Structure 1
Amino acid sequence: MFVVLLNYTAPIEEIDYVLPDHVEWLAKQYEHGHFLASGRRNPRIGGVIITRPMLRGKLDALLATDPFSVQHLAKYEVIEFSPTKTAPELRIINEALAS
């Protein structure tokens, strides 16, 4: 699994202009089953995405299609981790990782 930290590299006015496209992109990733959670960072300096398990190359390819990436408005820090304990709601994901 991955935690992706988005760090805005442009003024918030530029971010807000592209935000509807980014939200549409996020919706597509959820439809395809790639993401588990996402949202704004506080303070509003970027965002956070928690992904389902996938190959790192696939994640990199997905992130490259984010409108924030395409328009060079954000940089991404990708943190890979292997969950060893999860809440009951996420247990099925953790069990899938163990197999």
Structure 2
Amino acid sequence: MYVVLLDYAAPLDQIDTYLPDHAEWLAVHYAEGHFLASGRRQPRTGGVIIARAMPRGQLDAILASDPFVVRRLVRYEVIEFSATRTAPALAAYADPAE
């Protein structure tokens, strides 16, 4: 599983201009089952995406297609982790115990 941190690299007025495109991109990846949660950071300096486990190259390709990335408006930091414990509602996303 991944925690993806977005840091805005442009003023908020530029971010807001392309926010509908970014929201559409998010919707596609929710529909495809790639993303589990997302939202703005507080204070509004970027965002956070929780992505399900997948090959890192696949995630990198998905992130590279984000309209924010294409326009160089954000930088991503990707943190990979093994979800060895989850809330019952997320049990399907837990990694098997090693």
Q: TM-score, normalised by structure 1?
A: 0.95
Root-mean-square deviation (Å) = 0.9
Report percent identity of matched pairs. Answer: 63
Select the structure that is richer in helix. 1
Q: CA deviation at 1:92?
A: 1.5
Q: What amino acid sits opposite 1:40 in the alignment?
A: R
State the match for 2:29 in structure 1: 29
Deviations 1:30-88 (A, max 9, x none): 01000000000000000000001101100000000000000000000000000111100
Tell me which residue corresponds to 2:60: 60
Q: In the TM superposition, what is the alpha-carbon distance from 1:13 to its structure 2 partner?
A: 0.2
C-alpha contact (below 8 Å) 2:37/2:50 kept by paired residues: yes
C-alpha distance in 2, partners of 1:23/1:14? 15
The answer for unaligned runs of 5 or more in structure 2 is none
SS of equivalent residue, structure 1 residue 72: coil
Moved over 6 A (4+): none
The residue that corresponds to 1:88 in the other structure is: 88
**Which structure 1 residue ranges, 5 or more long, are not aligned?**
none
